[in-house]
Amino acid sequence: MAVDTPSQSVVKTAGDSVARGRSRGTGSHRGASKRSLSTHWYAWAMVAPVTIVIAVIIGYPLVRGIYLSLTDANERNVARSIGVNQIPASYEFVGLDNYTDAITGGQFLGTLGWTVVWTVSCVSLTFALGLGLANILNRRIAGRSAYRLMLILPWAVPGFVSVFAWRFLYNQDNGLLNKVLAGGGIDAVPWLNDPTWAKLSVIATNVWLGVPFMMVALLGGLQSIPGELYEAAEMDGASAWQRFRHITMPGLRSVSTTVVLLSTIWTFNMFPVIFLLTRGGPGEATQILVTQAYKFSFEVSPRDFAQSSTWGVLILVLLMVFAAFYQRVLRKQGEVW
């Protein structure tokens, strides 16, 4: 039996299965290919639940969504039942019309513009604040765990509760912010009722929500940088900024790239904050692509499934292009991920 072979090979070599001797209690002398099959079998069995659920719940809807985006489906012509009567679907295939409409029309591009502004400002602010706080928390400082506990709090509160809290603060007539301003003799600010203020307000709320995740991830990254590096740099006379620039930043590279990518994707699709805070208003000022697509299929009449799907597919394409581009840039800089 080959049980005593170092089974690093379990990881390294799937093809070279001879070295692998997990006997699974049977101690049988089966052929090499069978053993490799059994390894794969285990791996596949372990990932099967995820794969199946994703295939059914994401795969099928995606295909269906893409199909709908090529039709003129809306509430009036999809299959539906009125009483006992089944009315078959009567929508038609229209090719890429929806896409040309979306791309040539002003609405999509306008919404996209704001979505990009929203994503870039949220991600960069969250990252900067998260990095700053993580750096402070990584020092030896009294009450560190108490601070950490309080700073992570926004993450632990369910989204709709914190959004409610912010709506309460922002409320134009009764909100605390305006009352405090009034106390200082300043006129009430239309936090959520003026297009520009509303944009600033939703960004502020989302940054508030997003900082804890960034902070925790970056703090973890900081803690994995060996302290000796800093000591050595200090002996060489490196200034605080140089240490940050040449040790901290490179040390945080892999964490940062992952969290920035994830956070960009999440922010781009951040449905609850916009939906619950402003519903995209005033007018359509704070509507991002996702909330607008949701509006098409749930809030306008007749519900426009085709256009909603078109926007959804465009969102997906944009994000995939972004991720591929992002990864390519990283790879050029020597990062294999």
Partner 1 sequence: MTTTTPTPQTLNAPVRGRRSPLASVGLHLTLIVASVIAVFPVLWVLLTSLKPAKFATTTDFFRETTFENYTNLLNDTPFLTWFGNSLLVAGLTTVLGVFVSATTGYAVSRFRFPGKRGLMWTLLVTQMFPVAVLIVPIYNIMATMGLLNQPAGLVITYLTIAVPFCAWMMKGFFDTIPREIDESGYVDGLTPFGTFWRLILPLAKPGIAVTAFYSFITAWGEVAYASAFMVGDENLTLAGGLQKFVNQYGAQWGPMSAASVLIAVPAALVFLFAQRHLVTGMSAGAVKG
State which residue, 198 or 207, has the beta carbon closest to partner 1.
207
Count of Cβ atoms closer than 10 Å to residue 295 Cβ:
20
DSSP state of 248: I
Tell me how far apart the alpha carbons of residues 100 and 92 are, in angstroms, rounded to a whole number: 17
Cβ 109 to partner 1 shortest distance, Å:
17
Structure tokens at 138: 């990584």
State which residue, 107 or 254, has the beta carbon closest to partner 1.
254
Cβ 162 to partner 1 shortest distance, Å:
6
Torsion of CA 195, 199, 200, 206, to 10 degrees: 150
- The DSSP string of 257-276 is HHHHHHHHHHHHT-HHHHHH
Tell me how far apart the alpha carbons of residues 59 and 321 are, in angstroms, rounded to a whole number: 19
State which residue, 94 or 319, has the beta carbon closest to partner 1.
319
Cβ 24 to partner 1 shortest distance, Å:
5
Cβ 283 to partner 1 shortest distance, Å:
20
State which residue, 27 or 106, has the beta carbon closest to partner 1.
27
Whether the link from the prior residue into 282 is cis, omega within 30° of 0, is yes
**Is 208:154 a contact under the CB 8 Å cutoff?**
yes
Cβ 92 to partner 1 shortest distance, Å:
18
- Nearest of 244, 320, 288, 255 to residue 122 by alpha carbon: 288
Tell me how far apart the alpha carbons of residues 254 and 210 are, in angstroms, rounded to a whole number: 19
State which residue, 57 or 96, has the beta carbon closest to partner 1.
57
Cβ 199 to partner 1 shortest distance, Å:
19
User: Angle 253-268/195-223 helices, nearest 10 degrees?
Assistant: 150
State which residue, 198 or 293, has the beta carbon closest to partner 1.
293
